[in-house]
Amino acid sequence: MSHTDPPLSFASTMVREDLTARQIFERVKANPARARFGFGDRLAIVNVDFQQAYTRPDLFPNTAYVSDPDQIAHVNAISAMARSHGMPVIWTRVCYKPDGGDAGVWGTRTNTPDSLQNIKFGSDRHAFDPRADIRCEIDLVFDKRMPSAFFETPLKSYLTFHKVDTVVVTGGSTSGCVRATAVESLSHGYRTIVAEECVADKHESYHFANLTDLQLKYADVVGVAEVKAWFEARHAR
């Protein structure tokens, strides 16, 4: 381009439409032409942050959320199916040391009793929801400090040892730690599945907007029935 040519200028091409985030997700989900990553041969169930700070609105109404009332029952069911096939089940939760210093810059925006960095080890907010069927003698259970279940945790090496090629992500929040875990899962080369009824968020707009983005770019967003059907098909072999 010559120095005399006018600078290029384009009008905005951003799509604007009067649809809710849920409606957009349903449209994307209904597209039969959308290619999928699919399931591989060995999967792991990665259950992100089923701790009371995020699952118990009766105890922590400012931070907890429920999208599907049967979320934890669904998670327990597919986790049991994974164990029965000798496949890994992983549970994560977030907590920080007494001064919150290991929350890093993520913990600097607010400082209230409900703030992230004030989830202390051993506190009620750190405790797993008692409805979660965690088998500590079998499952991998660990604390994390950042959104992704992969960041500075033993998860990647654990999946490598167990020859996992597919990661099923559950938990919350859809727009936060679930999304971060799914993106990093794909980045590590795993087929990544998000079980729709098994993830939750505070607001349906965030929830469905992020499910849309995950479906379009980083994961297969499928019904929990499809995850169960995959296990059942393996059992029938």
Cα separation of 100 and 22, whole Å? Answer: 36
Cα separation of 172 and 207, whole Å? Answer: 10
Q: Which residues are catalytic?
A: 177
Distance of CA 1 to the CA centre of its chain: 46
**Nearest-10 Cα torsion for 74, 77, 80, 84:** -130
